[in-house]
Amino acid sequence: MNEMNSDGYTTADGRRIGGVLMEMKNITLRFGGVAAITDISFDIREGEIRAIIGPNGAGKSSMLNVISGFYIPQEGEVWFKGYKRGPMKPYQVARLGIARTFQNIALFDGMSVLDNIMTGRLTMMKSGLLGQAIWWGPAQGEETEHREKVEKIIDFLEIQPIRKTPVGRLPYGLKKRVELARALAAEPKLLLLDEPMAGMNVEEKEDMSRFILDVNDEFGTTIALIEHDMGVVMDISDRVVVMDYGKKIGDGTPDEVRKNQAVIDAYLGVAHD
């Protein structure tokens, strides 16, 4: 669909970025009369770490919610894997291969870490209700198979010690990691991270950055993340969209964005929190 963009590029550290995975075309989102997002377009390429940054209230979260189907924009089009996406329910978006985490962490507090991550694989389990109900044949084998996948992720994110712990009892930083694990369990084409480093100390931020890079490297997952803190994000992203007051004010590599006057103004010049 987007032939002109299908060639991709190579990053500074030598990773090959592919064609367009998702494209947002002229998105406008209003709540009543208030415009949260005004006419924004950008794309996310296969294998890329794409950040959307902006000061508080810039409309980043709204944008993420549009991508994940929690909000349906009044205007504009969302293209995914070369197809225009109609209005969809969040769970349908999830089944397309788009997994996400939440700024305020949405985990199942009463369930163990393992069970939480297993829910990430729900959409991939094939056996029917009856088979599940009587826990027989394929259903059993399937459970084992999914458990193996989940264990790989547990190992990858180094959360073995808390495997059986109810999520409600975990500290904040670990919850964030479990949420990432659950999103990863869905083997998503596109992983959306809503302020993955919010509320973390320097060390936790560094851990999280490393995990994000490792996920991208190890599984080739395309990652879109939003952050209001420029620091760490600029180090790990390939390309950055900058939003302010619901509008796009910059888009490019971290270096390009850093030099962009509009971006500098938004962050330093005019404070509006």
Partner 1 sequence: MPEQLLYAMEVTLNGLMAGVMYSLVALGFVLIFKASGIFNYAQGVLALFAALTLVGFQNGQVPFAHLLNAVFGTNLHEFGWHLPAVVAIVLTAVVMVLLAILVERFVLKHLVNQEPIILFMATIGLAYFLEGLGDLMWGADIKTLDVGLPQGISETVESVTDGIFGYGFFIDNLDIVATVVAALLVISLTLFSQYTKYGRALRAVADDHQAALSVGISLRFIWVLVWSIAGIVALVAGIMWGTKSGVQFSLSLIALKALPVLMLGGFTSIPGAIVGGLIIGVGEKLFEFLVGPWIGGATENWFAYVLALLFLVFRPQGLFGEKIIERV
Partner 2 sequence: MPKDATKAGLQSIPALLARNADDWGQLPAFREKEFGIWQSWTWAETANEVRAIALGLMTLGIARGDHVAIIGRNRPALYWSMVAAQMCGAIPVPLYQDAVAEEMAYVLDHCGARFVVVGDQEQVDKVLEVQEQVKGIEHILYLDKRGMRKYDHSHMNALADIAAEGLAAHQRFEAELDKRTAELSYDHTCVMLYTSGTTGKPKGVVLSNRNIIETSKNSAEFDHLRRDDEVLAYLPMAWVGDFIFSVGQAMWTGFTVNCPENAATMMTDLREIGPTYFFAPPRVFEGQLTSVMIRMEDAGRFKKWLFDHYMDVARRVGPAILDGKPVSGTDRFRYWLGNILVYGPLKNTLGFSRVRVGYTAGEAIGPEIFDFYRALGINLKQLYGQTEASVFITQQPDGEVRSDTVGVPSPGVEVKIADNGEVFYRSPGTFVEYFRNAESTASTKDAEGWVATGDAGFFEEGTGHLRIIDRAKDVGKMADGSLFAPKYVENKLKFYPNILEAVVFGAGRNMCTAFINIDLTAVGNWAERNNIAYASYQELSQHPQVLETIAGHVEEVNRSIATDPMLSGCQIHRFLILHKELDADDGELTRTRKVRRNIIAEKFADLIDALYGGKDEIYTETEVTYEDGRKGSIKATLTIRDARVEPLQERIAAE
Residues that bind partner 1 (CB under 8 A): 68, 70, 89-92, 94-95, 99-100, 102, 106-111, 115, 118-120, 122-123, 125, 127, 129, 132-133, 135, 139, 143, 182-183, 186
CB of 199 or CB of 231, closer to partner 1: 199
What is residue 258's three-state secondary structure?
Answer: helix
Single residue of 6, 140, 160, 261 touching partner 2 by CB under 8 A: 160
The span of 62-70, 81-89, 214-222, 230-238 binding partner 2 (CB under 8 A) equals 214-222
- Residue 161 as a binder of partner 2 (CB under 8 A): the answer is yes
**In whole angstroms, what is the distance from residue 53 CA to residue 73 CA?**
20
DSSP for 184-230 reads HHT--SEEEEESTTTT--HHHHHHHHHHHHHHHHHH--EEEEEES-H
Task: Kindly tell me which of 92 and 165 has the beta carbon lying closer to partner 1.
Answer: 92
Binding of partner 2 by 217 (CB under 8 A): yes
DSSP assigned state of 100: E
CA gap 135, 253 in Å, rounded: 51
Q: Tell me which residues in 114-153 interact with partner 2 (CB under 8 A).
A: 147-148, 151-152
Which residues in 186-205 contact partner 2 (CB under 8 A)? Answer: 203
DSSP one-letter code for 138: H
User: Cα 39 to the chain's mean position, in Å?
Assistant: 21
